[in-house]
Copies of this chain bind each other. A is one copy, B any other.
């Protein structure tokens, strides 16, 4: 069992205290005092607080102090924007939706030059090529083509590929897929798109492609998802001051 990291413990506790309304003034104690009460260094305290800042729960003003975002307490559900954009999270994680999956293709091929690049492989490496059609309520929604290095998942079978590969990874390897680099765009549809996704010839198709990483940073899968444009929904928080 992994011992919980200090800054996460502090972060969680502080968050809990905020939600419990322990800070009636809407102002938190200063960093130095907080780090003293938690018996951690100020750097760790800052790290914990920074996460809450990113979540929009608190904000800091140099020279003045740290304050609780009143809107957060007022209506926390409004801060959970996830409800609006089930688009992608759904296809990442198997969260209880009535989705089915049909295996269109499943084979092992040598890694192409492009795949070698993207998954950090060599010429001698092989990958699974997995093509699936995802159905929601028996309607085809996503055509997904994914490539996974054999050496990462030597025990993969078609049966597994048909259901959730990600949870399989978690079971077998104890690792989670939790980061991805995604690129989203829309392009003219192919005949196959039109056929499977019920698109008219002139209608375009939505494409989400990206690399998925394991906990430890290993590139795990390269995947392209093609979907009806009406299903292309994506929402995210963006920090604007990072350039």
Interface, chain A (partner B; CB < 8 A): 8, 11-12, 26, 51, 54-56, 59-62, 64, 67, 69-72, 74-75, 77-78, 81-89, 92-93, 117-118, 120, 176-187, 200, 202-204, 206, 210-211, 213, 215-219, 229-230, 232-243
Q: Could you name 23 residue pairs across A and B whose Cβ atoms are closer than 8 Å?
A: A12-B243, A54-B239, A59-B215, A64-B217, A67-B216, A71-B183, A78-B117, A84-B183, A85-B183, A86-B238, A177-B240, A178-B240, A179-B240, A183-B235, A183-B236, A184-B233, A185-B230, A186-B204, A187-B230, A200-B202, A203-B203, A234-B234, A236-B236
B-chain residues with CB within 8 Å of residue A241 when the two chains form the complex: 83-84, 176, 178
Report yes or no: B217 in contact with A185, Cβ–Cβ below 8 A: no
Given known A-B contacts A62-B216, A69-B217, A229-B229, A179 and B89 have beta carbons under 8 A apart: no
Q: How far, in whole Å, are A178 and B59 apart by their CA atoms in the complex?
A: 12
Nearest CB to that of A201 among chain B residues? B202
Report yes or no: B232 in contact with A181, Cβ–Cβ below 8 A: no
Q: How far, in whole Å, are A15 and B237 apart by their CA atoms in the complex?
A: 22
Cβ-defined partner of A230 (8 Å) among B81, B186, B239: B186
Given known A-B contacts A56-B217, A120-B71, A238 and B185 have beta carbons under 8 A apart: no
A56-B213, A71-B183 given. 16 additional CB < 8 A pairs? A11-B243, A59-B217, A62-B216, A64-B217, A69-B211, A75-B120, A77-B183, A83-B241, A84-B243, A88-B238, A93-B240, A181-B237, A182-B236, A185-B230, A186-B204, A186-B229
Q: How far, in whole Å, are A157 and B183 apart by their CA atoms in the complex?
A: 36
Report yes or no: A117 in contact with B70, Cβ–Cβ below 8 A: yes
Q: How many copies does the complex hold?
A: 2
| Chain B proximity of A236: nearest CB distance (Å) | 5
Q: How far, in whole Å, are A183 and B180 apart by their CA atoms in the complex?
A: 17
Given known A-B contacts A118-B71, A217-B72, A243-B12, A186 and B59 have beta carbons under 8 A apart: no
Report yes or no: B69 in contact with A181, Cβ–Cβ below 8 A: yes
Cβ-defined partner of A235 (8 Å) among B56, B62, B184, B229: B184
Q: How far, in whole Å, are A83 and B240 apart by their CA atoms in the complex?
A: 4
Report yes or no: A203 in contact with B202, Cβ–Cβ below 8 A: yes
B-chain residues with CB within 8 Å of residue A26 when the two chains form the complex: 120
